[in-house]
Amino acid sequence: MKISTSVQSKNNKTLNLQKVGIIYNVEHHAAGAVTKTLENMLKSKGFLDIAKYKVYGKKEKIPVDAELGLVFVVGGDGTFLGAARSFSPYGIPLFGINTGRLGFLSQLKPADMEYGIDKIINGEFVIDERLMIKSFTDKESEFHTALNDVVIKGGEISRTAQLFLYINSRHVCDYLADGLIISTPTGSTAYTLSAGGPVVVPELEAFVIVPICPHSLTTRPIVIPADEKIEIKVKIDSDFISVTSDGQEFLNVDSRKIIRISRNEYKASLITLKNDNNGFYSILRQKLHWGISPHG
């Protein structure tokens, strides 16, 4: 059996199936066995060129083959975030198979892999583009990127800082807080949500700014258009501040520098199967138990 080298998605985007990849995180006990099953399944359905990438944790840099048309990500949300930062600059779509805890970014459980592969082969999917965010200090070319969020904190644990927010070079507000989260819509269901931020649908082109443990009863999250330019100045009794991308890439920055944040030029491409049970609101109900009565 030989599959077609390309397939058209439901939103009229072409997916190249000539060469595909599988990333799996060996920190997940089941990932190795799931990957072997997935590889055999793909071969049986006519996928002839399959590249495998073994990663040891969420932070590991992944060598990218730009010829890949699709990458299956076997792991949890952390593995998926790492893959997004690696493959998104090349426009390579990702499809998640969850062996982690929550799996908010993944499409399927391992038991449903064959169903998912058939859906892809038959073009019963869409390729969603997700906003990504970047942070930098002096040179915009030397940036760090994230799919979920950028978090700015004092350089020492539990150190409260004064954070001054500027949008498009205009002073907006000051925070006395443990830190500040700047999130994409995709990240609004992660750390941002835990810090009291709103749930934002992934299709919106927006950023969410949420203070962490603010020392004020009037401080509230703010949602702004994604084209706005954000600047954060920090006043703290420390030589450095911590800037984290997706909770995985950590950078200590001179506390006198300005942290600049804006939308990234490229987006992450996520494959979403077309059915009634995997829409954004369905996932909220299933995985976060959103809007479900405790007595129901």
Q: Which residue ranges form the domains of the chain, and what is each CATH number?
A: 6-130+267-288 (3.40.50.10330), 133-263 (2.60.200.30)
Say what the pLDDT of residue 249 is. 92
Q: Please state the pTM of the whole predicted model.
A: 0.92
Say what the pLDDT of residue 294 is. 63
Report the distance separating Cα 110 and Cα 38, nearest Å: 9
Q: Convert the pLDDT of each residue in 5-59 to its tens digit.
A: 899 999 999 999 999 999 998 888 899 999 999 999 999 999 989 999 999 876 6
Q: Convert the pLDDT of each residue in 57-96 to its tens digit.
A: 766 678 899 999 999 999 999 999 999 999 999 999 999 9
Residue 296 has pLDDT above 60, yes or no: no
Give me the residue label for tokens 């700015």: 152
Average pLDDT, the chain: 91
Q: Which of 49, 65, 77, 174 is catalytic?
A: 77
Is-catalytic flag, 276? no
Burial class (CB in 10 A: 0-12, 13-18, 19+), 54: middle
Q: Convert the pLDDT of each residue in 245-290 to its tens digit.
A: 999 999 999 999 999 999 999 999 999 997 756 677 777 777 777 7
Residue 151 has pLDDT above 70, yes or no: yes
